[in-house]
Every structure is written in structure tokens, then in C-alpha cells.
Structure 1
């Protein structure tokens, strides 16, 4: 099914809004404690409880408006619900912090498996929007896989050694900014291996 075009600002708001709202909720609630059925929940747990339904609602709205939902969005939503539920049930913020590492580890692993098979799963996800020779896709896939590994390792170090506020800020802004820079830095590669619209390169070559 073809994706319906919607206002870019609305789309960005639905995609980026939930993490920003989590950040704002944490800042507002970080010094508060709520007692439910004899159990005390701190600001991090409360912000997590707010974030999960907001993410699901924004994903559902985006799906309703565009008519499509990506595999990445589905996978992310499942992990958020699962680890968010564990965080709230066990009253332990470590589950939610590990969720970020697992997401990046999954992406790195999936791309790595494709590379071992001589394929670019990144092309499978983005090839219809970015015509590029297979050689270029293989190079970009390797770079993105390494970037996801670095992000996962860094997240583990940060949440285990820094304060909650530092991690929330890092997870909300630093990691997405790093990924954005990685994508933007691929511009020369894309220009070098770009193909005319409608043309596809089926060559299996892996330049390494």
C-alpha cells in the first residue's frame, strides 16, 4: 500500500513528540513520588508510564494518517510496551534503560546478518526512496551497523555510570543527534553511487 502524504511538520511531531514529552515529563516529575497500593513510584517510573501510551497513540495516528507503518516502528513500539511494563511492574528503571541498548543491538545484528549473507537489509528498508548501486548500499550498511554497535555500547556505559537526568537527556537528544550526523555524513557516498530514478542495481558485490 502506498504511503499517503501528510504535512511534514505533523509527521515529525508524531515521530519526535513522544521522546520529547518523556523528557519534559521526567523533568517535571523527577523529584516527585507517588504511592500506589503501598508502593512508591519515583519520577522516572511515572514518566515511563506516561510515555508508553503516548508513543502507542502517536504510532496509531501516524498509521491512520499515512496508511502504512514501518517494521522499525512496530518493533520499537513492542519493545517500549514490553520494557515499559517491566519497568512499572518491578518498579525498576533499569529495564527501560536497557531497552535502548536492545533496540540498537537488534538493528546492528540484523544489518550484520544481512552483510554476512551478502545483502543489504538497509536497501530493503530504504531502497524505494533512495536509488543507489548495491555497492553503495553495502558500504552504508556496514557503517550504520557499526554506528548502532557504538550507540548500544555507549548507552550501556552511560546508564550504568551517570545520573537518571543525564541519561534521559543523553537518550533524548545525544543518540538521535549522533544518528542524524551519521546519516548526513553519507551524502558523499550517496552522491557517488546514486542511480537515475527507476533504475535498480542488482549486482551482489561487497566492496568492504
Structure 2
């Protein structure tokens, strides 16, 4: 019996470690396909980049499953959109579909967050609540801000791909969007500071 408990504890510890990938691994899963898309576009054009992006997205799914023991819902959804829009791009030889992928993903996520606000479901809190404590009002504000951000960026993507060259759109998708996202995340610091429990703020200040 003791041996069984020890084995169970060992397996639980092993699974726990497996579900906590390093920051570098997380970045590779999240941004690896995007970097592969950018590099393959520079060397082979939009259709080669689209095919590469589809393969890289599938690899990211497998890597996430192997290293963390699960695949995030957002990653699954993004993978489906990538496969559909990328497949249409290659089949019809029309780059419009791959360019609209970012618009589709951002719009759907924005609608989900707005729907959650209306129905009392704070999806960002569901995703991040175990890693960070914050008052309900803070989660609502953060959800609203992120939903607005996604809606605006969907519009920005539409404006850029419809009015600018494919080269400029690829640069925006790879670096511009990421840069704007980082700025947006830093801009949420006042929300965290205002609504984070005092104890957690003190711990962060001491650290």
C-alpha cells in the first residue's frame, strides 16, 4: 500500500513537472509557427509560407501535448482556423484567406469575451485565475480592455492587408502585432496595481 502511494506521488510529481514548461518552451510553442511563417515567406513567398505555417502549427500542437500534457483551447481554436484559412489559400491560390486569418481569430475571441462580460463569464479569469489573484472588478476591466484591443487589431489587420503590400503585411503580422501586444500588456499594469490584493502587491514589491 505504501509502495502504491509512493508510486502515485511520483507519477503526480512527474505530471506536475510535465505541465510546467519553461518560458523558452512556451515562447517556442506560441511564436515558433509565426517565425517559421516569416522566414519561409522571405525565401519562398506567401504560398510556401502558408504551407510552412500550417505544418509548424501542427508541430506546436504536438509539442504542447508532449511537454505539458494538454493543448490549450485557444491553441486548438487557432490551429483549426489556420488549417481552414491556410487550406483555402493553397487550394484556391488566393492569399486573401491567409491574410484574413488574424481578423477572423481576433474577431471571434473579441466576441467571446464581450459575450462573457454580458453573461457574467470572465473567460480571462478562468484562464489566468490560478496564476494571479485580482478583484472581480479588475478581471472585468481587463476582459473589457482585451476584447476592445482584439476588435481594434482585427480592424487594423483588415486595413493593412487591403491597402498595403504583402511584404508590409507580413512584417506587421510578425513584428508589428507582437510589438503592439506587448505595449498593450504593459498598459494594463495600472489595472493590476489597483485591483490586485494588497498581500500580493507587497510580495511583488519585496521580490
Question: Normalising by structure 1, what TM-score?
Answer: 0.84
Runs (4 or more) in structure 1 with deviation over 6 Å come to: none
> Structure 1: which 5+ residue stretches go unaligned?
30-42, 198-208
Structure 1 distance, partners of 2:21, 2:73, is: 19
> Is 2:175 the partner of 1:173?
yes
Structure 2 distance, partners of 1:15, 1:119, is: 25
> Is 2:151 the partner of 1:149?
yes
Match of 1:114 among 116, 133, 136: 116
> Structure 2: which 5+ residue stretches go unaligned?
1-14, 201-207
Match of 2:141 among 114, 135, 139: 139
Counterpart residue number, 2:35: 20
Match of 2:93 among 68, 74, 91: 91
Structure 2 distance, partners of 1:156, 1:147, is: 14
Give the C-alpha shift of residue 129 in structure 1.
1.2
Structure 2 distance, partners of 1:14, 1:123, is: 22
Structure 1 distance, partners of 2:168, 2:131, is: 36
Aligned residue runs from structure 1 range 1-208, under 5 A: 4-29=19-44, 43-195=45-197
Give the 3-state SS of the residue equivalent to 1:92 in structure 2.
coil
Relative to its length, the structure with more helix (as a share) is 2
Structure 2 distance, partners of 1:74, 1:156, is: 23
Is contact 1:15-1:59 (8 Å) kept? no
Counterpart residue number, 2:7: none
* Larger RCO (CA within 8 A; separation ≥ 6): 1
Is contact 1:119-1:138 (8 Å) kept? no
Q: Deviations over 1:79-114 (max 9, x none)?
A: 001111010000100011111100000111000001
Give the C-alpha shift of residue 10 in structure 1.
2.6
Structure 2 distance, partners of 1:48, 1:14, is: 17
Structure 1 distance, partners of 2:23, 2:36, is: 19
What RMSD in Å do the two structures reach over aligned CA positions?
1.5
Structure 1 distance, partners of 2:33, 2:42, is: 14
